[in-house]
Amino acid sequence: MNPADLPTPDDSLKQDYSLLVDELDQLIEKLSNRLQDTIHCAPGCSSCCRRFSVLALEAAFMAAAFSGSEYTVQAQESSTCSLLVKERCTLYHCRPIICRTQGLPIAYIDEDNEQIEVSACPLNFSEDYPFTHDDLLYLDSFNSRLAELNLRYCRANGLDATKRISIGSLVSGG
């Protein structure tokens, strides 16, 4: 499927996704303020901006943002995200959830080993940084909600909810 042909999410999905993003953005702002002396992310920092894929729901929102607009994008051979131009995201206002969390210490619960795994940007945090529980962004509940919204979107539009869409295909049209 050409990403430009993704159906527009219905108003209920738009509202629920917007609520999810707003809640996450509030938590990110709170955490960023708490860690302001440690986090060095700023406009122009794009070391974490790599090629990746998103769920159909987020691809639909991003494709709609591209609709009728002309963007300059990175060459396909590049390992950096296609949305970067001069080290800045051309779709920052509509970036997916994973992009919103970059630079922060992300915590995942490893139930098998009964421990918390932390993924953190090495530009912001040393390998032995002494994280506290309050320093960590726990994404499991947000990712679960995103997966549920994506499932609703895919079921309503006859799409495969497990299929991911590359960012590069969004900007190249297929």
* Structure token digits, residue 50: 């790599």
Q: Mean pLDDT in the chain?
A: 88
- Cα–Cα distance for residue pair 82/105, rounded to 1 Å: 24
In the block, residue with structure tokens 């070391």: 47
Spatial separation of the C-alpha atoms in residues 96 and 99, rounded to whole Å: 6
How many domains, the chain? 1
Selection from 50, 67, 54, 46 nearest residue 171 by Cα: 67
Arithmetic mean of pLDDT, 55-66: 90
Phi, psi of 149 (to 5 degrees): -65, -40
Distance of alpha carbon 73 from alpha carbon 5, whole angstroms: 20
**pLDDT per residue as tens digits for the range 66-101:** 775 555 555 555 788 888 888 888 888 889 999 999
Task: Summarize pLDDT for 41-56 with one digit per residue, the tens.
Answer: 888 888 888 888 999 9
As a whole number, mean pLDDT of residues 117-139 equals: 92
pLDDT class for 167, splitting at 50, 70, 90? confident
The enclosing H or E element of 109 equals strand 106-110
Mean pLDDT for 130-143 is 94
**Mean pLDDT along residues 107-133:** 91
* CA–CA dist 49, 80 (Å, integer): 6
Does 160 have pLDDT greater than 70? yes
Which candidate, 46, 43, 65, places its Cα nearest to that of 54?
65
Mean pLDDT value of segment 1-16:
87
**DSSP labels for 35-57?**
TTTT----TT--TT-B--EEEHH
| Mean pLDDT (whole number) for 137-164 | 96
Domain residue limits at 151: 3-172
Model's pTM, two decimal places? 0.88
> Which tokens hold the place of 41?
């992310």
Q: How high is the pLDDT of residue 118?
A: 93
Q: Are strands 164-166 and 137-138 parallel, antiparallel or unpaired?
A: unpaired
The phi, psi pair for 35, rounded to 5°, reads -105, 20
